[in-house]
Amino acid sequence: MDKCAVYPGTFDPITNGHLDIVERAAKLFSKIIVAVGENPEKTPLFSHNERFELVKEAVSALELPNITVGQFTGLLAQYAQDTDATAIIRGLRAVSDFEHEFQMALANRKLFPDAETVFLMPSEPFVYLNSSMVKVIARNDGNISQFVPPCVEKALLEKIGGIK
């Protein structure tokens, strides 16, 4: 039986920590959809389409046949239902992430009870890593090559060139 999971995020930008979760989730499910979402509560550096294109490029470099990239606006639960997902993948870096993620998981369960939320911890090198940190490092001329794939490093350095 095919099991599809959605791994949603703003991915502004996608990091090596996100890709670590994708690779590990790909071993658990027959299909993973990395879903680039619009979150009206966030003001992303990259546009929705730019984030979608960066995620597609970063994910394609993994060369995993069971991974696709999608995009959505609105409710994640509706997107999961529309894609016949049986699971929603969420990454947990630290205890501080848990309360927010737990609340979202409960809300998604109410809205779409056919999908389970599965929490994955990142591999140790990525436990502290998030997109905001990467942007701060890049804005301050730090080396971000160890935190993001090459396509993201290039796009981020081009984007922030005049924003410092």
To the query of whether residue 42 is one of the catalytic residues in this protein, the response is: yes
To the query of whether residue 135 is one of the catalytic residues in this protein, the response is: no
13: nearest Cα among 141, 126, 154? 154
Give the active site residue among 24, 48, 93, 109: 93
Give the active site residue among 42, 100, 139, 154: 42
To the query of whether residue 109 is one of the catalytic residues in this protein, the response is: no
Give CA–CA dist 66/60, Å, rounded. Answer: 11
Give the active site residue among 18, 51, 56, 90: 18
Give the active site residue among 31, 51, 131, 135: 131
To the query of whether residue 110 is one of the catalytic residues in this protein, the response is: no
State the virtual CA torsion across 137, 140, 142, 148 in degrees, nearest 10. 40
The residues annotated as belonging to the active site are 18, 42, 93, 131
